[in-house]
């Protein structure tokens, strides 16, 4: 693609939301006022962020959105016009006065952006007063759920493409300004770049683009359109060859222009196919290009691609060099939401949980951390959820089946969470999208292939420490008695 180098001037740190405080659900504010008016707003609390169900019938999730959430949190304050609006919605003057000086002063612990995560494990923990931890819920869920979903879809698409580069073309089909975060998440998931220029500036990712059919239609004929474009971009032209007739007109005209460029010391970069039988057209185009001595000209394809269609194309040995993926990436086609949740786990250092008739929905109490265990080949083997004050344990047990457990004494282990905010202040550097992308690829390489396959992937096992399992069972018995 026509790729421009990434910006390196810190512009990626521009805010997604200049005023994020009202980017929330009403009940977060009504609960906050309730805590305040009842004198409970300073009680200590802890919330966990986790998700319950894997998207796309897959085997993992790529965690994304942490940098954007932390960046938004730094500007989380109520503006005068926002407080005026809240007055019109019936909030009390006393509570409005409190919000004038509101700022988050708590602590946040999180896994790294780009980490590979699994259902029901606490990915991120927020500690502070119950009012301030509650009021962050919607912003946190909106950011982490969406970016993690898109990063996961991108990782699956990249897996299907193998060593072929993939570029995000989805902005025009995205849900409003979510397209900005989607472009960044796509890069974290493994995409080479994006067509989204603002994302390129904001996040420092490569931007890429070719031409539209309208460029070709605006000229008297296709050959003139190709020649004019190549004149302006002699070393980066990618010619869209399917406006009128791909094999009879488009590819032959592209060959003519490529030969003319050669005479001037330049090279046509690629042609792009955007309709029809992509495998057939790619094969025929490759034959025509090679016969003309243009074996260096690449073939790019687009048009409703996803991981399944890309896999099918490559299984057919279609000679495709680059994929542009849009709609089915940014809309997370066939799984439009990640069911991440934010649940209270302690109040005033008292562990608490939510009980459900569905055992998978019973939450885990107390302050917790996540440990990852590795097999002898350095691959992910198990994750264990432990209480934060626990020392080394000898086994992790199944969350609700008594006889299932895994001994951990001989396994290499790694703590997944780190503190990212202390006393309301960020204490880590915000990772660039490229850093999170590199980390995600490293971690995906450590995930055994059984969990990455598209059909019937293995279920990755996440266990509890015996003490956490005991605490959970005791609290359930207390609540039911």
Q: Which residues touch 105 (CB under 8 Å, ≥6 apart)?
A: 128, 129, 132, 423, 424
**DSSP line for 291-316:** HTT-TT-EEEE-SS--HHHHHHHHHT
C-alpha–C-alpha distance, residues 441 and 435, integer Å: 10
Q: Which residues touch 230 (CB under 8 Å, ≥6 apart)?
A: 237, 239, 257, 260, 261, 266, 268
Residue 280 has a pLDDT of: 98
C-alpha–C-alpha distance, residues 186 and 135, integer Å: 28
Beta-bridge partner residues of 387: 368
Residue 111 has a pLDDT of: 98
**Which backbone phi and psi does 138 adopt, to 5 degrees?**
-65, -45
Predicted confidence pLDDT, tens digits, the chain (481 residues): 334 444 443 333 344 556 799 999 999 999 999 999 999 999 999 999 999 999 999 999 999 999 999 999 998 999 999 999 999 999 999 999 999 999 999 999 999 999 999 999 999 999 999 999 999 999 999 999 999 999 999 999 999 999 999 999 999 999 998 999 999 999 999 999 999 999 999 999 999 998 999 999 999 999 999 999 999 999 999 999 999 999 999 999 999 999 999 999 999 999 999 999 999 999 999 999 999 999 999 999 999 999 999 999 999 999 999 999 999 999 999 999 999 999 999 999 999 999 987 888 899 999 999 999 999 999 999 999 999 999 889 999 999 888 999 999 999 999 999 999 999 999 999 999 999 999 999 999 999 999 999 999 999 999 999 999 999 999 999 887 6
CATH 3.20.140.10 fits 2-150+335-480, yes or no: yes
Q: Which residues touch 282 (CB under 8 Å, ≥6 apart)?
A: 273, 299, 301, 313, 318, 319, 320
CA distances from 261 to 226, 228, 247, 264, 286 (A): 11, 12, 20, 5, 19
C-alpha–C-alpha distance, residues 279 and 19, integer Å: 48
Residue 400 has a pLDDT of: 87
Q: Count CB neighbours of 24 within 10 A.
A: 16
* Residues found in the chain: 481
Structure tokens belonging to residue 178: 């979510």
């Amino acid at each position: 693609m026509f790729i421009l180098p990434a910006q390196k001037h810190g512009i990626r740190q521009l805010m997604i939301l200049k005023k994020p405080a009202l980017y929330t659900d009403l009940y977060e504010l009504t609960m906050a006022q309730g805590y305040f008016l009842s004198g409970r707003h300073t009680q200590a609390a802890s919330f966990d962020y986790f998700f319950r169900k894997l998207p796309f019938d897959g085997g993992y999730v790529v965690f994304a959105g942490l940098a954007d959430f932390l960046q938004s949190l730094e500007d989380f304050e109520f503006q005068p016009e926002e407080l005026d609006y809240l007055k019109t919605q019936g909030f009390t003057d006393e509570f409005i006065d409190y919000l004038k000086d509101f700022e988050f002063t708590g602590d946040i612990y999180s896994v790294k952006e780009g980490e590979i995560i699994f259902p029901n494990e606490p990915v991120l923990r927020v500690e502070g007063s119950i009012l301030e931890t509650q009021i962050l819920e919607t912003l946190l869920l909106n950011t982490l759920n969406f970016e993690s979903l898109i990063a996961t879809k991108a990782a699956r698409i990249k897996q299907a493409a193998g060593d072929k580069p993939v570029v995000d073309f989805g902005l025009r089909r995205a849900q409003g300004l979510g397209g900005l975060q989607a472009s960044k998440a796509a890069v974290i998931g493994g995409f080479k770049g994006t067509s989204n220029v603002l994302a390129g500036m904001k996040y420092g990712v490569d931007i890429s683009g070719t031409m539209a059919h309208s460029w070709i239609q605006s000229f008297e004929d296709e050959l003139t359109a190709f020649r004019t474009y190549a004149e302006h971009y002699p070393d980066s032209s990618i010619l869209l060859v399917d406006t009128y007739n791909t094999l009879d007109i488009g590819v032959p005209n592209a060959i003519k222009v490529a030969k003319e460029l050669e005479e001037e010391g330049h090279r046509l970069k690629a042609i792009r196919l955007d309709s029809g039988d992509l495998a057939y057209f790619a094969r025929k185009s490759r034959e025509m290009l090679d016969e003309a001595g243009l074996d260096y000209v690449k073939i790019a394809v687009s048009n409703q691609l996803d991981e399944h269609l890309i896999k099918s194309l490559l299984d057919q040995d279609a000679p495709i060099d680059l994929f542009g993926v849009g709609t089915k990436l940014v809309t997370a086609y066939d799984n439009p939401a990640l069911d991440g949740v934010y649940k209270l786990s302690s109040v005033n250092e008292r562990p608490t949980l939510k009980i459900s008739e569905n055992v998978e929905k019973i939450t885990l109490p107390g302050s917790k951390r996540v440990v990852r265990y590795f097999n002898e080949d350095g691959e992910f083997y198990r994750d264990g959820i432990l209480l934060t004050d626990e020392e080394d344990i000898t086994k992790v047990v199944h969350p609700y089946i008594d006889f299932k457990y895994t001994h951990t004494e001989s396994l290499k282990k790694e703590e997944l969470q780190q503190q990212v905010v202390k006393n309301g202040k960020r204490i880590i550097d915000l990772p660039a999208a490229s850093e999170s992308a590199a980390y995600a690829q490293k971690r995906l390489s450590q995930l055994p292939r059984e969990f990455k396959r598209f059909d019937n992937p293995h279920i990755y096992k996440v266990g509890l420490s015996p003490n956490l399992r005991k605490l959970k069972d005791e609290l359930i018995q207390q609540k039911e008695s």
